[in-house]
Amino acid sequence: NRQILFKNFVVGWPQESDMEFVTTKKKLELREGQKDVIVRVLYLSCDPCQRGRMRNSTDSYIPPYTPGKPIEGYGLGKVILSSDPAFNEGDIVSGLMGWEDYSYGFRLVKIDDLALPISYYLGALGMAGFTAYVGFFRICEPKKGDTIYVSAASGAVGQMVGQFAKLFGCRVVGSAGSQQKVDLLTSKFGYDEAFNYKEEPDLDAALKRCCPDGIDIYFENVGGKMLDAVLVNMKVFGRIAVCGMVSQYNKEVQDPIYNLNYTVKRRLKIHGFLQSDHMDVQPEFFKNVIQWFKEGKLVYVEDIADGLEKGPAALIGLLAGKNVGKQSVKVADP
């Protein structure tokens, strides 16, 4: 069993050396009195929230990683042993699993109908797509014709938010950190306007150009200076769905936000959310998103690192914006 172990808690930017690739002969077994499922890991998801689990802090919605144990996260696997009557050998499942060849699986969902390529079930039809769906349809309170601005717009969540918003009838604006990503936004994901925030450090000017009438909805993925610039460009009664703040995850002290007074001037609603609080939406999400893909109304761009040993570089690359689309790691063929 090959594994990626978490070595020790991280301060600042994580390095590949904070993780260790090892091979062990220890075999996983079904444990007495437990409903265990052991999977052959097929794909692993790289997610910004994994950075939070490298911090020596329990002040979060998810516990930190344990030094010396495998990294864990969302993945796809094939059941090889099960003492849980809900799962049979050969089932393809998604859920939480370790960064290793064979792992116990947790919070598993059986994928009955592989209507789309399997890797989609880790992103567009997985946690990222679900986050985008919940965030847009439940948190943003969209109205047709609204201008929505999405940061980290070409990423796993952002690309889906933009497409949902466009299908719904919004005017959609996004930003990303390279020309290649900005081109994807307008040529592939249907964004009406997009800019490269690294080339245009005057974020206020870029937002005024792309959203001359102001912003009704901000889908917040990055935080920091971006949030500050957005606040002054929000329209009265605007909504901000706070999905994440990836620009802050490697900082020990968070950037100050100077323009919070605009929440009153513009009567804004700012709503932080976690996808896992909205599981009641999941059946509707699967039904609609699978159908929209089948009808050709959605596209999906993913960035798949090939091989478990590539996992650490892929995860760190994600935090530096090296990924183009949803970052995942292929561990084995189904």
Residue 90: CB minimum distance to ligand NDP, A: 29
Nearer to ligand NDP, 64 or 321 (CB): 321
Residue 256: CB minimum distance to ligand NDP, A: 15
Nearer to ligand NDP, 102 or 195 (CB): 195
Bridge partners, residue 38, by sequence = 81, 104
Residues that bind ligand NDP (CB under 6 A): 47-49, 127-128, 131, 152, 155-158, 176-178, 181, 221-222, 243-247, 273-275, 318-319, 321, 323, 326-327
Residue 235: CB minimum distance to ligand NDP, A: 23
Residue 195: CB minimum distance to ligand NDP, A: 11
Residue 32: CB minimum distance to ligand NDP, A: 35
Nearer to ligand NDP, 82 or 327 (CB): 327
Residue 290: CB minimum distance to ligand NDP, A: 20
Nearer to ligand NDP, 248 or 288 (CB): 248
Residue 68: CB minimum distance to ligand NDP, A: 26
- The residue count of the chain comes to 334
Nearer to ligand NDP, 176 or 207 (CB): 176
Nearer to ligand NDP, 166 or 278 (CB): 278
Nearer to ligand NDP, 79 or 207 (CB): 207
